[in-house]
Amino acid sequence: MARTPLNRYLGLTFLLALCWYYGPSLMGRGASVSGFGSGSRHRYTSNDLDRSNWIKGVLANNSIETEVSFASRTLKYIPDATERLSMTEINQDLLPDGFADIHVGSGSPILPSGSTLKVHVNKIRRPDAVNALSLIFGVSTTFARFDGAKTTPIKEWARWLTDGKGNSNGAGLVLALFNSSDTEIDQAQERLTAAGISATVLASNKTLDMPGRYVDLVQLLWNDPSRAERKYFVLVDDDTFFPNMPNLLDTLHTHDPSKPYYIGTITERTDWIIRDHTPMAYGGGGIFLTAPVASTISSLPCLEKDSEGEYVLGGDQGDKLLYNCLHNYTEITLTYEPRLNQEDEFGDPSGLYESGRSLLSMHHYKSWHHIKPAKMHAVASACGGDCVLQRFQFNDNFIISNGWSVAQYPHGIDFDTALVEGTFELPNDNGLADVLHLYAYGALRKSLSKTGRKKGWHLLDAREEGSGRVTQVYTKNREDERWLREDEATYERDSVIVLTWIP
């Protein structure tokens, strides 16, 4: 167009008209952009653009191919359910429009967030509503594990030790680092403080071995200057996670903190219970001591050694030494809390995370099996702690296990969803496979892996967007053999489901 004065005038008028029309969204939320899909032009905000770019970034960073099969849905949670059920049935389809084959490379159109569907959830209690002043946690580990790119627990700790926004939720943490220099201790302290965690980092007693350092944590917790404010003194491993702090606090407060309580869980492995013949709290699930117990242990000679240098009480593991000390010197016995989880199973943990159970603790997520609890837990900042791993079942045979997976059962949900699926690796060297987890999980239903009856999308990443909005990206790799019958060909595309939770 020639730059005649008239054209300039027209151009300016057009621009002004545009600003008048889109003004509010340009100033506040963003410009209108057209996306793919529906056919009709849809107005997208800069937030949509931002979310879409984030999703594409997540897919690219995780080697998902740029031609994918894609579906999305927005779930509006309404906190009017009277309880958190094992299964919440929604009399609607999750994905009424199915999947679309799309390109998600750079420059591709904005990804839609799908039409809105209402779901009913229990009272919402987000991390920023948690007051955990009554708790102080103790962890004994090495600087290498604390600092290692693959092992550092900071992101996970921030989910249950802060309000999710960089401030402490009141809980204390004593981190005892073994064989670490002063510089390393300062560095750890700085990182925890920067994450909003109210922590004290110190060097563990050099003369103690691993079980000794573990039991020694009790007196470190008991002697912490914040003692008067604390009610429960908690020993955890560096890979223990608490997915539902509001519920954990409720549960703990049913045990009078002025009375002696030693609260924990036992291993899910029936054979190990019999091997250990010790009704002790296994450390990975978290061990909770009320003040009278912490005080008592601090004054007992738990770490006494004999002339051979062995613990008089015996105990090659810290949790066992702690139990032996209580057992030998006091009348205190275990208060068993089955919703705490030691998670002593190997392989795919889906069976547990897709069981709809309300878990108070999780363990072994960086070793025996792999999950990313901080990402899983992001959705607590939308629909609250009870919503984590909550199940929603839809008419089109999809089940969401919130924060872990979206599973589709193409031949129908023709099994009892109350039973735990046997997805774990079950060691059968002693012929016990079928009864290994019996007391903890019940009899397992058969794994649907390689039957073609189940297809699973697993959480790849999740993002908080403020104001109770959280976006989750679930993916199914096209080569994942778990979802194929033996004679079934691999899929042509990686598949992506995006769920956006909104208030």
Ligand X SMILES: *[C@@H]1O[C@H](CO)[C@@H](O)[C@H](O)[C@H]1NC(C)=O
Q: Which residues here bind ligand X, judged by CB under 6 A?
A: 54, 57-58, 61, 179, 205, 207-208, 303, 312-313, 324, 327-328
Mark residue 166 as left, alpha or beta (left: phi above 0; alpha: psi -120 to 50; beta: remaining): left
- In 249-397, beta strands by DSSP E: 262-264, 287-290, 334-336, 346-347, 362-363, 391-394
Q: What is the dihedral of CA 302, 304, 308, 314, to 10 degrees?
A: -10
* Beta-ladder partners of 401: 391, 405
The smaller minimum CB distance to ligand X, of residues 201 and 407, is found at 201
Q: How far is the CB of 91 from ligand X (least distance, A)?
A: 35
Q: How far is the CB of 207 from ligand X (least distance, A)?
A: 5
The smaller minimum CB distance to ligand X, of residues 97 and 209, is found at 209
User: What is the amino acid identity at position 155?
Assistant: K
Q: How far is the CB of 145 from ligand X (least distance, A)?
A: 11
The two structure tokens encoding residue 187 = 């560095």
Residue 472 near residue 379, CB atoms below 8 Å: yes
Q: How far is the CB of 313 from ligand X (least distance, A)?
A: 6
Q: How far is the CB of 299 from ligand X (least distance, A)?
A: 14
The smaller minimum CB distance to ligand X, of residues 32 and 330, is found at 330
The smaller minimum CB distance to ligand X, of residues 200 and 244, is found at 200
Say how many CA atoms lie within 13 Å of 191 toward its Cβ: 17
Q: How far is the CB of 458 from ligand X (least distance, A)?
A: 16
The smaller minimum CB distance to ligand X, of residues 301 and 442, is found at 301
Q: How far is the CB of 481 from ligand X (least distance, A)?
A: 27
Mark residue 105 as left, alpha or beta (left: phi above 0; alpha: psi -120 to 50; beta: remaining): beta
CA–CA separation, 263 and 336 (whole Å): 6
Q: How far is the CB of 492 from ligand X (least distance, A)?
A: 25
Q: Which of 473, 465, 470, 475 shows the shortest CA–CA distance to 498? A: 473
Residue 108 near residue 374, CB atoms below 8 Å: no
Residue 160 near residue 198, CB atoms below 8 Å: no
CA–CA separation, 78 and 492 (whole Å): 37
Q: How far is the CB of 344 from ligand X (least distance, A)?
A: 23
Q: How far is CA 147 from CA 127, 143, 197, in A?
A: 25, 6, 16
The smaller minimum CB distance to ligand X, of residues 133 and 208, is found at 208
With CB atoms as reference, the residue minimizing the distance to ligand X is 57
The smaller minimum CB distance to ligand X, of residues 296 and 417, is found at 296
The smaller minimum CB distance to ligand X, of residues 54 and 415, is found at 54
Element (H, E) at 440: helix 438-441
The two structure tokens encoding residue 319 = 């949790």
User: What is the amino acid identity at position 305?
Assistant: K
- Look up residue 227 and give its DSSP letter: G
Q: How far is the CB of 49 from ligand X (least distance, A)?
A: 14
CA–CA separation, 212 and 312 (whole Å): 12
The smaller minimum CB distance to ligand X, of residues 119 and 294, is found at 294
Residue with tokens 């045979």: 397
The two structure tokens encoding residue 17 = 């008209």
The smaller minimum CB distance to ligand X, of residues 110 and 249, is found at 110
